[in-house]
Amino acid sequence: MQKQEKSKVVTTIKEKLDKSKVVILTDYKGLKMSQMSALRKSLRPLDAEFKVFKNTLINLAVKDKSLEGFSKLLSGSTAVLFGYKDQVMPAKTLAKFMSENEKLTIKGGILDGGFVDAAMLKSLAKLPSREVLLSKMMASMQAPLYNFVGDLKGVVRKFVYALNAVKEKKERSS
């Protein structure tokens, strides 16, 4: 690869890193091309991509970023997952793929501009999706209102029962 081509690839990697919400470095050694194509196909609807770059070019792209420990991961066969829209769903998709294909392993990555290890990324993959978390939050915010309305109904119901009892007592006494 010529120097101009290398600088273009480094620029491309920098752009992808800046645009990404999550970056996951993986070791893909032993995966077949058909398996990698299947992974890429599953990531496409999530606005994420899975690319293979040379370690030296990735290292040049992240050189100006302060990511301690990141360059240590750049050894062996390295493929990079870039997630542009969501942080969780690409990680979930990768974790699902890893459960079916044991040869793929997570090395580490970048989340919110900082370096994260493989364990953190695996725990990220276990989180529910954004929509599920939002619906749970909304349900917990609505619960006090529903309880308040239920309590008001109980007070009104008891008041009606009391009025009905007074009415029946007056009817019996007259």
Sign of CA dihedral 75, 10, 124, 49: negative
Cβ-contact 95, 102 below 8 angstroms? no
Domain ranges (residues) in the chain:
3-127, 128-174
pTM listed for this prediction? 0.71
Return the CATH number of the domain spanning residue range 3-127: 3.30.70.1730
**DSSP 3-state percent helix, strand, coil across the chain (nearest 5):** 60, 15, 25
pLDDT tens for the 174 residues of the chain, in order: 788 888 898 889 888 888 888 889 999 888 889 999 999 999 999 999 999 989 888 888 888 777 777 778 788 888 999 999 888 888 888 888 988 888 888 888 888 777 888 788 887 777 777 777 788 888 888 878 778 878 888 888 888 888 888 888 888 887
